[in-house]
Structure 1
Amino acid sequence: MFSYFTTNEANAALPDVIKKFESALGKKNEIAKIEQQLQITVSSTNSFEEYVNLKQKLNSAITKFYESVEILENTGVVVKSIDQGLLDFPSKRFDEEVWLCWKYGETEIKFWHEKDSGFMGRKPIEVSDESLV
């Protein structure tokens, strides 16, 4: 279900969001490992059986990754980049829709940006910024 986040609501949700993000990131890293194993298998063996087993393992890992992204986005956040660790929380500033922006490693929501500007357009949230819903 869609909803806008206030800064306080986003910060309250952040521990759960971080846990779910880390789960998705771990699944993405697992995919990279299997892909590497697959490349090695292709170039170093003639065994179809080993290749097919790894390919099936990769398919399963990809499915689990996308399921973890869906679970993460069901919290209300939007994944902008797993690789860069960027998530946005929909919010409003006065009557304008904006994103509350979080980057992996940050312990709280400290930035926001307009809909059409990305990470480079981040602006700090002022302590007294009551304009964000």
Structure 2
Amino acid sequence: MFNFFTPVEANSILPEVKVKFADILMQRNNIMDLQTELESVASQEVSHESFFIKKVQVNKAITEMYKDIEELEGLGILIKSFDEGLLDFPSKRFNEEVWLCWKMGEDKIKFWHGKNEGFVGRKPLSIEGTYDSDVLEDLR
């Protein structure tokens, strides 16, 4: 489902989003561990059955992770980077489409950037004139 978020709306669902994203990152780490185990099994003299048992585990873990990614992105949130822990929420700033930007470890969404700027172009929401004042009042 596509949705434009105000900073207040994005911050209201952020606690739930943080939990989902942390779970996805744990699943990703588990998949990487399972993949290493699979490569180890493949390099050893083991039966085909042992290889396929491990392969099924990898496939199931990947499927579950993608279901969770689909659920999170189904809320209208973009996973920008797993490695850096970045999420973007589509928003509008004075009728311009922008991204509200959150990085893992931050307590709330406090930044935005243009569609083509990315993380390095982040600007604080609290700077006067950078966002509609009515959507900022609950952030202060």
Give TM class, smaller chain.
over 0.9
Q: CA RMSD in A?
A: 1.6
Output the TM-score relative to the length of structure 1.
Answer: 0.92
Q: What's the counterpart of residue 109 of structure 1?
A: 109
**SS of match in other structure, 2:108:** coil
- Secondary structure in structure 1 of the residue aligned to 2:40: helix
Mark the runs of 5 or more structure 1 residues left unpaired by the alignment. none
Counterpart residue identity of residue 40, structure 2: I
For residues 104-127 of structure 1, give each alpha carbon's deviation from its aligned partner in whole angstroms, at most 9, with x where no partner exists.
111100110000111111111116
Aligned partner of 1:52 in structure 2 is 52
Structure 1 contact 73–79 (Cα < 8 Å) conserved: yes
Alpha-carbon deviation of 1:66? Answer: 0.5
Give the Å deviation of 1:44: 2.7
Tell me the TM-score normalized by structure 2.
Answer: 0.88
Q: How does 1:4-83 map to 2 (within 5 A)?
A: 4-83=4-83
Measured in 1, the distance between the counterparts of 2:22 and 2:34 equals: 18
In structure 2, the partner of 1:122 is 122
* Alignment partners' CA distance in 2, 1:90 and 1:125: 14
Runs of 4 or more off by more than 3 Å in structure 1?
127-130
Is 1:17–1:75's contact at 8 Å kept on the other side of the alignment?
Answer: no
Other-structure match for 1:87: 87
Match of 1:99 in 2: 99
Q: What per-residue deviation string (whole Å, max 9, x for no partner) do you get for residues 67-115 of structure 1? A: 0101111222111112221110000110100000011111100110000
How far, CA to CA, are the matches of 1:83 and 1:50 in structure 2? 31
Contact (CA 8 Å) 2:35, 2:58: kept in 1 or not? yes
Aligned residues: 133
